Homo-oligomer: A and B are copies of this chain.
């Protein structure tokens, strides 16, 4: 099975959501990407449809925006 990708940017809302997601979903099935640290993956996240972080892109390609930490525009800045 393809992995889900959890995009975040280190914000408090992101960290809280990450902890919850990694409790609920098998850690081996989730790749965690900190867009503040790997800015060269922001374009990939935008292409996947990520509008804000934290967000989980599922193996089927759907984007689940979870709560709201920051917009993707803010992450770029």
Contact = CB atoms under 8 A, between A and B. Distances in A.
Nearest to A21: B64
Contact of A24 (B16, B58, B63): B58
Interface string A26-63: 00010000000000000000000000000010111011
A4 B20 CA distance: 11
> How many chain copies does the complex carry?
2
Interface string A53-77: 0001011101111111000000000
A23 B65 contact: no
A64 B17 contact: yes
Nearest to A66: B64
Contact of A66 (B4, B16, B60, B65): B65
A58 B24 CA distance: 8
